[in-house]
Amino acid sequence: MRSDEELAQGIQQGNQADMTELVERYYDALLRYLYRLCAGRQNLAEDMVQETFLRALRKIALYDPQRPFKPWLYAIATNIARNYHQKADTRFTENPAENSDFVDPQSQPESKVMQAEAAENVANALTQLPDHQREVVVLFYYEDMPQKDIAAILNIPIGTVKSRLSLGLKRLRTMIEAMEK
C-alpha cells in the first residue's frame, strides 16, 4: 500500500486515481471530525468535507511530500470550519432534528473524554466550547491525533495544544456537572 505522501506526489504528477484513493482513505474520518466541529450538522459537515478535498486538489502543488500529509489535510478542513463559523451571516444555531438520521459508524466511547459522563451530555457540552478548544479536544480524543500533529494542523506551539486541551477538559467537566444538577 502506498503512503499518503506517495499518493500526494502522484496527484502532483497528474494521477487522478491517487486522489480517489486519498478521498477513500480520509472521507469518513474528515466527516466525523467536521461533524463534531459543526455541532452535529451532517449536511454542513458533508459540504465541508467536499470543500476540503477540492481545496487540497487546488493547492496540491504547494504540498511538500517530505512532510506528513494527514496534518496538512486536517489543517485545510480546520480552516474551512473556522472560516465558516467566523462569518457573521453563518453563525449557527443547533437543530438536532436536521441531523437525527446521522450515525457515526466509528464513534469511540465518550469515556475517553469523561469516564462516567453520559455521551449526550459530552456532545452538548462539546458544542459549547470555544472553537479553539473544541478543535483540540476533538482532534486529540476523537481523531486520536498526537499533540505534535495537532500543533501542525492548527499552526500553534505544542504548549498551546496542551493548554487548550487542559482548559477544554476543565470546561467540559464544569458544564457536564452543571447539566447533571
Instruction: Show me where the domains of the chain are located.
Output: 1-95, 109-181
Residue 63 burial (10 A CB sphere; 0-12, 13-18, 19+): middle
Q: Is 5 helix (H, G, I), strand (E, B) or coil?
A: helix
Cβ 40 vs Cβ 102: under 8 Å: yes
Q: Which CATH class is domain 1-95?
A: mainly alpha
For the chain, how far is it from start to end, CA to CA, in angstroms?
A: 51
Which fold does the domain 109-181 belong to in CATH?
Answer: Arc Repressor Mutant, subunit A (1.10.10)
- Binned at pLDDT 50, 70 and 90, residue 123 comes out as confident
Please provide the average confidence, as pLDDT, over all residues in the chain: 83
| pLDDT computed for residue 119 by the predictor | 67
Give 124-163 pLDDT, tens digit per residue: 888 889 989 999 999 998 889 999 999 999 999 999 999 9
Q: What is the pTM of this model?
A: 0.73
| pLDDT computed for residue 118 by the predictor | 60
Which residues, at least 6 apart from 16, have a Cβ–Cβ distance to it below 8 Å?
A: none
| pLDDT computed for residue 113 by the predictor | 37
Residue 48 Cα distances to 34, 41, 54, 170, 176, angstroms? 7, 11, 10, 29, 29
